[in-house]
């Protein structure tokens, strides 16, 4: 889903600005072992981002971009507006692609001689989740907690322009599987390109996504996955087709649904099909679609921040196609 927001909302900038500092005071340090994504990322706390990282600016007018911390604060504020009576946990934050610098006074010093106060840093890319543990469901014995999150990559913005230029954000709402911390997000819970140029627009876009989200319907769809299974032979066909897809001519690809998973993720799916403690296949080689879906979302943890959520949504679309084929007995290229 691609959206461009506007400023016409009862949740205006004055309301947001007054609330953001309140949000800051509630954000606490969280454990670093809750990895919803792993590849090329490190854990960070909100305080580290706020106190230790500089904020990039637009070159032409020297105005700051919307910072990682403002993005997190604004998301939490929207969550609390949409779910005012629910418990909202502190954010789990992952960052990557550090951009290092130094203060002017230290420009001639060798790197090993730099003191801490002479160094500057910010991270180009950041992903975070905010869990709502009081909104929960269960699928095939797995507890799922409603979870909201976002992804910011400054490399998608034109920082050589003025501050009136669009800034790009990815925002999602779905469930976190508490068995494995896999994120479960479908198309209706994902804004792949939320384009804004101020915090007010950012809040409005997030608020509308959360307000319109149907958690009950998504829970029902996940429940259906557990009622359908594929055989070992069908799984083998699926893996082979996934490998073939990446090497097909573009004309042929356009005739098939998109597949965003690469060979490394498919290798992980194959390995976990035999060895995952929670989602491996049955003794006869069959596997239900809920388990298969979790094999893909678990493999997705090795994706870089840039592709992480798009691949997560792609996993839902792929398994939904398999379910439809099994339900209707239609031919399915991935299974035949």
Q: What is the pLDDT along the chain (336 residues), one digit of tens a residue?
A: 444 444 444 444 445 445 555 554 454 444 434 578 887 899 999 999 999 999 999 999 999 999 999 999 999 999 999 999 999 999 999 999 999 998 888 888 888 888 888 899 999 999 999 999 999 999 999 999 999 999 999 999 999 999 899 999 999 999 999 999 999 999 999 999 999 999 999 999 999 999 999 999 999 999 999 999 999 999 999 999 999 999 999 999 988 888 999 999 999 999 999 999 999 999 999 999 999 999 999 999 999 898 899 999 999 999 999 999 999 877 889 998
Nearest to 316 by CA among 331, 334, 336, 297: 297
Give the separation between CA 287 and CA 279, rounded to whole angstroms: 8
* Whole-number pLDDT of residue 34: 52
**pTM for this predicted structure:** 0.86
Buried b (16+ CB within 10 A) or exposed e, 57-67: ebeeeeeebbb
* Whole-number pLDDT of residue 20: 52
Contacts 24+ apart (CB under 8 A), 60-67: 60/160, 60/161, 60/162, 61/162, 61/163, 63/162, 63/163, 64/163, 65/154, 65/157, 65/159, 65/163, 65/167, 66/167, 66/169, 66/196, 66/198, 66/199, 66/202
Spans of all domains in the chain: 2-217, 226-328
* Whole-number pLDDT of residue 107: 82
Q: Tokens 């002017």 appear where? A: 104
């Amino acid at each position: 889903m691609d959206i461009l927001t506007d400023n016409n909302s009862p949740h205006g900038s004055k309301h947001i600005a007054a609330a953001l500092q309140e949000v800051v005071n509630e954000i606490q340090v969280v454990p670093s072992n809750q990895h919803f994504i792993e590849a090329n990322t490190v854990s960070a706390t909100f305080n580290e981002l706020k106190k230790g990282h500089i904020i990039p600016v637009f070159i032409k007018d020297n105005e700051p971009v919307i910072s990682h911390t403002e993005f997190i604060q604004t998301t939490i504020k929207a969550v609390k507006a949409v779910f005012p009576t629910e418990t909202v946990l502190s954010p789990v934050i992952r960052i990557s692609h550090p951009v290092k610098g130094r203060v002017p006074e230290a420009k001639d010093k060798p790197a090993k001689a730099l003191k801490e106060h002479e160094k500057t840093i910010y991270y180009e890319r950041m992903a975070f989740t905010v869990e709502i543990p009081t909104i929960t469901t269960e699928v095939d014995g797995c507890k799922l907690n409603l979870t909201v999150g976002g992804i910011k990559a400054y490399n998608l913005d034109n920082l050589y322009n003025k501050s009136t230029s669009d800034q790009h954000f990815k925002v999602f709402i779905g469930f976190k599987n508490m068995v494995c911390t896999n994120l479960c997000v479908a198309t209706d819970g994902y804004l792949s390109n939320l384009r804004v140029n101020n915090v007010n627009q950012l809040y409005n876009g997030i608020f509308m996504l959360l307000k319109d989200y149907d958690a009950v319907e998504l829970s029902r769809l996940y429940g259906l996955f557990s009622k359908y299974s594929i055989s070992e032979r069908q799984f083998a066909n699926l893996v082979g087709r996934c490998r073939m897809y990446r090497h097909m001519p573009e004309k042929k690809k356009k005739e098939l649904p998109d597949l965003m998973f690469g060979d490394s993720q498919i290798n992980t799916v194959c390995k976990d099909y035999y060895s995952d403690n929670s989602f491996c296949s049955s003794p006869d080689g069959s596997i239900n679609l809920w388990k298969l879906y979790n094999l893909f979302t678990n493999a997705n943890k090795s994706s870089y921040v840039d592709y992480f959520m798009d691949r997560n949504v792609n996993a839902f679309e792929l398994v939904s196609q398999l379910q439809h084929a099994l339900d209707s007995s239609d031919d399915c290229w991935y299974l035949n």
